[in-house]
Homo-oligomer: A and B are copies of this chain.
Amino acid sequence: MITNPETQPTRGTQLSEQVARQLTHAIHTGDMRPGERLPTEAALGERYGISRSVVREAISMLRNAGLVTSRRGSGSFVAEVPTVALRLAIPDPSLQSVIRLLELRRALEVEAARLAAQRRTPSQLRRIRNAMADIDEAVEIGADGVDQDMAFHRAIAEASNNTHFTAIIDFYNRFLHHAITVTRTNESLRETFMAQVIEEHQAIVDAIDQGDEDAAAQAAARHLEHAEWRLRQAPTDLLERLEDTATDTPV
């Protein structure tokens, strides 16, 4: 029932999608500021010449994308920290997929280590050191130390002082947890592996400590190259078990 050609949404297949795009654009460009209230559903319907159903569907998309929040009786508001949803395929747990994730991890963590060497604050450096000590502690009492390992790498990402790195690394860590566990629970190779890992970690931390960005990046790159090698060394039966425990990861 498009009655207002002036503000008619741009062509597209789905009406609600067109409206959602327009509103999204208004938020992205700062035309509507965080915390600000959106026009009422009725008003938006009037403006675009569409029914309230379509407006609701459009707002539902924005809500789902984390751009707005709605409060019954009050209205819909631009989120205080607007987010966009980056839709990514769920990695299947095959060895191939895990290696693709390691490639991404290498890209991010090498650069994160470089930035950390440049910018880490004293307290961030302290936290990195503590995380490294936690790994040793966990290994000594017989645990696999995977959680501590991930916390260590996260501490480095935090020291990069660039939230993009931490956000993406957090996201992918969920899918890597199991893979790392596999390489650690390999009894025969465990001791030599752990010794390698600890030494590689130490090299990264030293470089960050000294503010040597190239050395930090190089140490991180070496660590992740070796991580891939260690994963490939894991016996085939363990890798198959990797396939069995498919993602029970929630959205």
On chain B, the residues within 8 Å of A56 by CB distance are 57
Say yes or no: is A162 at the interface (Cβ < 8 Å to chain B).
Answer: yes
Contact flag A115-B103 (CB < 8 Å), given A34-B249, A60-B61, A65-B64: yes
Residue A241 is within 8 A (CB to CB) of chain B in the complex: no
Q: With A56-B57, A64-B60, A107-B110 given, is the CB distance from A85 to B82 under 8 Å?
A: no
User: Is A245 close to B, CB under 8 A?
Assistant: yes
A88 neighbours in B (Cβ, 8 Å): 83-86, 164, 167-168
Residues of B within 8 A of A93 (CB): 30
Q: Is the CB of B165 within 8 A of A107?
A: yes
For the complex, is A112 an interface residue (Cβ under 8 Å from B)? yes
| Chain B hits for A237, CB < 8 A | none
Give Cα distance in the complex from A33 to B29, angstroms. 39
With an 8 Å Cβ cutoff, the count of chain A residues facing the other chain is 57
A107 to B84, CA, bound (A): 21
Contact between A89 and B83, CB atoms less than 8 A apart: yes
Tell me whether B64 and A101 are in contact (CB under 8 A): no
CB-based contact A84/B167 at 8 Å: no
A80 surroundings in chain B (CB, below 8 A): 251
Determine whether A246 belongs to the interface, using a CB cutoff of 8 Å to chain B. yes
**Cα-based distance from A117 to B55 in the complex (angstroms):** 47
Measured CB to CB, the closest approach of chain B to A247, in angstroms, equals 6
Which of A28, A90, A107, A171 has the most C-beta atoms of chain B within 10 angstroms of its own C-beta?
A107
> How far, in Å, is A64 (CB) from chain B's closest CB?
4
Does chain B have a CB within 8 A of A6? Answer: no
Q: Is A250 an interface residue (CB 8 A)?
A: yes
**In contact, B34 and A247 (Cβ under 8 angstroms):** yes
A29 CB contacts on chain B under 8 angstroms: 245
- Partner pick for A107 among B28, B30, B107, B172, CB 8 A cutoff: B107
New A-B pairs, 20, CB < 8 Å, besides A66-B87, A100-B162, A104-B162: A28-B250, A28-B251, A34-B249, A61-B64, A80-B251, A82-B89, A83-B88, A84-B87, A84-B88, A84-B251, A85-B85, A85-B251, A88-B167, A89-B167, A100-B163, A103-B162, A104-B164, A107-B108, A107-B112, A110-B111
Instruction: Contact check, B89 vs A86: say whether CB atoms are below 8 A apart.
Output: no
